[in-house]
Amino acid sequence: MKNTALLAPVKLGPYTLKNRIVLPPLTRQRAGQPGDVPTELMALYYRQRASAGFMVTEGTQIEPRGQGYAWTPGIYSPAQIDGWSKVTEAVHAEGGVIFAQLWHVGRVSHTALQPDGAAPVAPSAIAADKAKAFIETGPGAGTLVAPSTPKALSVDEIGELVALYAQAARNALAAGFDGVEIHAANGYLVNQFISTHANTRTDAYGGSLRNRLRFLREVVQAVAGVVGPERLGVRFTPLFTSTEEDRVYIGFVEDDPHETYIEAVKVLEQVGVAYLSIAEADWDNAPDLPEDFRRAVRHAYSGRIMYAGRYTAERGNRLLDAGLADLIAFGRPFIANPDLPARLANGWPLNPLNAATLYGGAEQGLTDYPAYAN
């Protein structure tokens, strides 16, 4: 694979990436307690994987109400900013480029995770009937639960949330991140505003597609105003078919997913953001995105396009060679193989993933996967 597209350098905003292999956002639930603070162990995890051309952190909640799973890190407190600075220092010491993913789960939460046990917030007071939240039941122990019914946000509260995204972006810069990614996927808050399944508002944030894209537009503009569009990415999960796994883990199938997401992509084009990340379903027999959608994305958007899903090196190279992608993200393989770019370049075998250690815990399943010994 020595001369393949995956190994070629590429420009991303102001950065020249050493390859097109990406570590995407991967929830690991190992933030220090109390306070959901990034730890030295997390810094080691990212440092081990800094041979990626580009890295995006696990989702990091922009405020306490944005949490849907116990032990995920935040980016709103001084202690969290300090913890993330250890991560960015470790990655930069290895010559890596890393963005923070700004996350708010909206209605995919539970009163046990909310300040003062309040209801989660969302565009409309509609419970997330398929998704699950994760709450702590004791030190290092927890369980999946049905999300609580949310409270519909007022227009003023929506404006306050937009400001919280901008503040989180400032915090990311203070922590030394090279940029940020807005999480607008997987049925979380921004996705909830976009979707008719979660947004039944009758004001300026609901109804027409343009109105449902308003929150996305305002958040993207606000964050771009802080970090610059050249240091900003946005992640979507456009679904064209629906299985039980899709609804639980990915999000919604819109009445017209092609139109919905091409219009959403045009929002990013208008602001000039550096990249678009599209996450696909990654389980067995997951359907591919329609070819005409991939081509329409490329036509509508002039920035870098990243795809994540069940990608192999061969499948990723095909998409790069076709001109439909600029970056390919590898999730589970990068968890189990900290030296993944070298393994792909040399055709070395991959470590198997231990699915039982994906979420929570300590070193096991996080930093104890070995590099290849030849």
Active site residues per annotation? 188
Place of tokens 């944005």: 66
Query: How far is 269 from 303, CA to CA, in rounded Å?
Result: 7
Nearest 10 degrees: CA dihedral of 187, 101, 301, 201? 40
> Looking at this protein, which amino acid is placed at residue 40?
E
Token reading at 26:
């991967």
Query: How far is 60 from 27, CA to CA, in rounded Å?
Result: 9
Which of 190, 219, 222, 195 is closest to 207 using CA atoms? 195
Q: Strands (DSSP E) along 2-139, which ranges?
A: 10-12, 15-17, 21-23, 54-61, 98-103, 121-122, 133-138
335: helix, strand or coil: helix
In terms of Cβ atoms closer than 10 Å to its own Cβ (0-12, 13-18, 19+), residue 95 is exposed
Which of 120, 106, 116, 110 is closest to 142 using CA atoms? 110
Place of tokens 């990249």: 275
User: Which distant-in-sequence residues (6+ apart) come within 8 Å of 319 by Cβ?
Assistant: 294, 307, 325, 328
